[in-house]
Homo-oligomer: A and B are copies of this chain.
Amino acid sequence: MSKETRMAEEVKLLKTWSSPFGLRIVWALKLKGIEYESIDEDLSNKSPLLLHSNPIYKKIPVLIHNGKPISESVVILEYIDQTWTQNPILPQHPFEKARQRFWAKFNDNKLIPSVWSVFVNEGKEKEEALLENLKLVEEELKGKRFFGGDKIGLVDLVFGWLANLMGVFEEVTGLKLIDDRFPLLSAWILEFSEIPIIKDNWPSHDKLVVKYRALHQKFHPLK
């Protein structure tokens, strides 16, 4: 990259204060040491910049790099890793890379919907389905400190929401899910949460509890 291009480098991140999908991008940019402008969107009144940058989904997060917008959080993470190669979040070997991509998809397509399903509906069957998913995640941590191995990687950033939102979720619903049935996941949550770039960028726990308590009441008006 020429000096001129580097000088012109402009990075903007459209996110919300609470979204775990936005938070993964914050963590990745911090890990890479990239300066960026953070723009918090009000989803009830989306900015023209968001509507213009992600016309198909009109969703955050969007990363805008030198005027070019990229949507879909895992696509953004891959973009960041290829563009700024310091502190890689994906391994080089194709098989290991495929494994990280597989688990990122598992989180977004299976784990998150199963947590959401318990949050809005509860019920034993849904809880069992969620516990099955957590067991698979526990299994994947066997013999490893982080999902990425010795250091955090893409899957750690993607699973990172577990380390704070699960606590909020447990507080709001009164369900205890990640306990000593999941010793590796519990240990990972503790260790992951202690990493400076992670803990320095959590949204406020108290604000999250207020937000999710209101949401929970909306789905359970009689409670």
Identity of the chain B residue whose Cβ is nearest the Cβ of A105 in the assembled complex: B72
Contacting residues, chain B, for A72 (C-beta < 8 A):
101-102, 105
| Main DSSP-derived SS at the A contact region | helix
Judged by a CB distance under 8 angstroms, whether A221 is at the interface is: no
Indicate which residue in B70, B79, B83, B101 contacts A75 across the interface (CB closer than 8 Å): B101
A98 within 8 A of B: yes
Enumerate chain B residues within 8 angstroms of A97, measured Cβ to Cβ: 78-79, 82
Chain A contact residue count (CB 8 A cutoff): 21
B79-A95 in contact (CB<8A): yes
Closest Cβ of chain B to A110, distance in Å, is: 8
Contact pattern, A 80-103, Cβ under 8 Å of B = 1, otherwise 0: 001100000000001101100110
- Greatest chain B CB density within 10 A among A56, A76, A98, A105 is at A98
Contact A56 B106 (CB under 8 A): yes
A187 beta carbon closer than 8 Å to chain B: no
Given known A68-B95, A72-B101, contact A136–B78 (CB-CB < 8 A): no
Q: In the assembled complex, which residues on chain B have CB atoms less than 8 Å from the CB atom of A83?
A: 94
Instruction: Please give me the residue from chain B that is nearest to A94 by CB atom.
Output: B82
Known: A82-B97, A94-B83. A75 touches B56 (CB 8 A): no
Within 8 A of B (CB), among A51-73: 56, 65, 68, 70-72
Residues from chain B with a CB closer than 8 A to the CB of A76 are 98
The answer on a CB contact under 8 Å between A102 and B75 is yes
A97 to B95, CA, bound (A): 19
Q: Which residues of chain B come closer than 8 Å to A136, judged between CB atoms? A: 56
A56 to B135, CA, bound (A): 11
Q: How far is the CB of A138 from chain B (nearest CB, A)?
A: 13
Q: Spell out A's residues near B (CB within 8 Å).
A: 56, 65, 68, 70-72, 75-76, 78-79, 82-83, 94-95, 97-98, 101-102, 105-106, 136
* 23 pairs of residues in contact across A and B, judged by CB atoms under 8 Å: A56-B106, A56-B136, A65-B95, A68-B95, A70-B95, A70-B98, A70-B102, A71-B102, A72-B101, A72-B102, A75-B98, A75-B101, A75-B102, A75-B105, A76-B98, A78-B97, A78-B101, A79-B94, A79-B95, A79-B97, A82-B94, A82-B97, A83-B94
